[in-house]
């Protein structure tokens, strides 16, 4: 049973769930629809991670041999059925939310994202930058999904802004993860940005996306979207982002890329906390 939880990559799934929880906190809306929304995002994200492992099987034999499929803990066919089942349950929950709210926006997002996650794993991941953009969109869309659950136009607008911040930082992190996985991807014939245009260009591009987020983040306070308390944890996140950008520009080897990827994940988590604190 442990392997079926592991293949969901619960850490990543929880990060997606946090986006929905943050919208609930910001909008001060706590109801059954948000509870269903949290479960929906967790299952859909878990399904996306599982189907990604299915199509990454050969690459993971090189890059991450301890994952459930390459290690033999879960059969390839079983993992695929499991992923599809998770998507279907998420879509059913999305339908229930939409019926409760009398709007089909949540359902549309769940269906679209589920199909996109499958298509990403099957095809888009091996495309230059498009795969990275897809993952960045999926991360940002968790905020938008949360916004649609409120059925409040102002909160939906705010969720679009927060989704943009998540999109940019995730895009930077996805490029860096491709840098980390370059050797395995190259052996399997997967053409990513680092393989096609080199590690240096990839590092510069990821740093640019980090810097754009750095510049834009304080505007959420300047334009009175969040209060002054938003700036306290945000400052910590910004320091982490600056360190990450400097590190990846200085060195693009596998170990540095792995460390920077983890740093960005920590920074994003702290930034998410700042969103919640800034709305109090």
pLDDT tens digits for 17-58? 999 999 999 999 889 999 999 999 999 999 999 999 999 887
pLDDT score at 24: 94
Chain centroid to CA 110? 15
Multiple choice CATH, 2-278, 2.60.120, 3.30.9, 1.10.10, 1.10.600: 1.10.600
State the Cα–Cα distance between residues 268 and 224, nearest whole angstrom.
21
- Helix, strand or coil, per DSSP, at residue 3: helix
Mark residue 224 as left, alpha or beta (left: phi above 0; alpha: psi -120 to 50; beta: remaining).
left
The mean pLDDT value for 221-248 works out to 94
The per-residue pLDDT for 190 is 77
61 pLDDT higher than 80: no
The mean per-residue pLDDT over the stretch 224-252 comes to 94
Lowest-confidence segment of 170-174, 216-220, 230-234 by average pLDDT: 216-220
- Predicted model pTM: 0.92
- Distance of alpha carbon 154 from alpha carbon 199, whole angstroms: 41
Q: Minimum mean pLDDT among 107-116, 119-128, 208-217, 239-248: which range?
A: 119-128
Mean pLDDT of the 220-233 span: 92
Residue written as token pair 């053409």: 191
């Amino acid at each position: 049973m442990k392997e079926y939880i592991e293949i969901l990559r619960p850490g990543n799934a929880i990060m997606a769930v946090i986006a929905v929880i943050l919208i609930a906190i910001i909008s001060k809306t706590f109801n059954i629809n948000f509870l269903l929304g949290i479960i929906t995002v967790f299952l859909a994200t878990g399904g996306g991670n599982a189907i990604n492992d299915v199509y990454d099987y050969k690459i993971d034999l090189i890059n991450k041999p301890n994952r459930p499929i390459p290690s033999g803990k879960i059969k390839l066919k079983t993992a695929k059925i499991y992923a599809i089942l998770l998507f279907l349950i998420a879509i059913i929950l999305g339908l229930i939310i939409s019926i409760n709210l009398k709007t089909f926006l949540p359902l549309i997002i769940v269906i679209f994202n589920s199909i996109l996650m499958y298509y990403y794993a099957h095809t888009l991941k091996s495309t230059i930058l498009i795969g990275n953009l897809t993952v960045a969109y999926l991360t940002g869309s968790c905020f938008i999904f949360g916004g649609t659950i409120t059925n409040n136009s102002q909160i939906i607008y705010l969720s679009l802004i927060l989704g943009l911040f998540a999109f940019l930082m995730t895009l930077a992190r996805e490029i860096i993860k491709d840098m980390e996985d370059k050797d395995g991807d190259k052996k399997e014939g997967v053409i990513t940005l680092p393989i096609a245009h080199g590690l240096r260009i990839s590092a510069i591009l990821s740093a640019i996306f980090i810097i754009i987020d750095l510049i834009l983040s304080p505007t959420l306070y300047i334009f009175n979207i969040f209060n002054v308390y938003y700036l306290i944890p945000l400052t910590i996140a910004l320091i982490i982002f600056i360190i990450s950008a400097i590190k990846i520009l200085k060195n693009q080897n596998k170990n540095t890329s792995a460390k920077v990827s983890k740093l960005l994940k920590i920074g994003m988590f702290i930034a998410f906390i700042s969103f919640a604190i800034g709305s109090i």
